[in-house]
Amino acid sequence: MTIIAALWATVDVTVKIREMISGNQLFIDTENLTKYLGDPAPGLVKSISILYYYSDTPADIRLWARKEHEPPFTISRGSDGVAIAQYPQPESQGIRLFGAVYADYIIKQPIVLLPMTNAMDGAPYPVTDDTMGGDPWEGHKKTLHLYYGPGPKNFGAFDTSSVKSKGIWQDDNITF
């Protein structure tokens, strides 16, 4: 298992998540994430998302997301990560959006993903329940997790180390 990038609220936790891999799987105890990853937003329930693949299948990059305080989960081959090649990756100004997660909802709808190219073109784009396709987590302040970078759609043909991540709070703007 190779972790490309991981976000906890708006914090990049890639290195810490890589350290948690055991064998070819990753155990995520969402009840105790603040103990392992720190608390970037005290008093708010946070979400975590992880972009990863297995060493023998870099073309099958997967995205996984959960909210804090859900039951523990083990990410392993065949677990419920979503293959990002199954949905659009909009591109503009040489930036390709590989994955987007709002709260713990992996965004797959083109009608939500494609307008994010406005931010790639330099125009601020608001993160709201309306622009993200609805409210997947009623009553909670949410984050949008973006995974992006240069590269062709053929994921096996580029260096995954060029992928960047960004966490944006609800009611802030996406900027690149």
pLDDT band, very low/low/confident/very high, at 9 (cuts 50, 70, 90): very high
Q: For residues 23 and 21, give the distance between their C-alpha atoms in angstroms, rounded to a whole number.
A: 6
> What does the pLDDT read at residue 80?
65
> What does the pLDDT read at residue 159?
67
- Name, in order, each residue with C-beta under 8 angstroms of 15's C-beta and a sequence gap of 6 or more: none
Averaged confidence pLDDT in the chain? 86
> In this structure, which amino acid lies at residue 71?
P
Q: Could you give the count of Cα atoms lying within 13 Å of 30 in the half-sphere of its Cβ?
A: 20
> What does the pLDDT read at residue 151?
62
Mean local confidence (pLDDT), 37-44: 93
Is the model more confident about 61 or about 102? 102
Q: For residues 167 and 37, give the distance between their C-alpha atoms in angstroms, rounded to a whole number.
A: 15
Most confident of 13-17, 49-53, 77-81: 13-17
What is the per-residue pLDDT across 144-157, written as a single tens digit (0 to 9) for each?
999 988 865 555 55
**Per-residue pLDDT for 54 more than 90?**
no
Domain with 170 in it: 2-174
Q: How many distinct structural domains can be found in the chain?
A: 1
Mean local confidence (pLDDT), 37-60: 85
**Per-residue pLDDT for 59 more than 70?**
no
Q: Which of 50-64, 65-79, 145-159 has the lowest mean pLDDT?
A: 145-159
Mean local confidence (pLDDT), 27-52: 91
Query: CA torsion 160→162→163→166, rounded to 10°?
Result: 160
Residue with tokens 């260096």: 159
**What is the Rg, in whole angstroms, of the alpha carbon atoms belonging to the chain?**
15
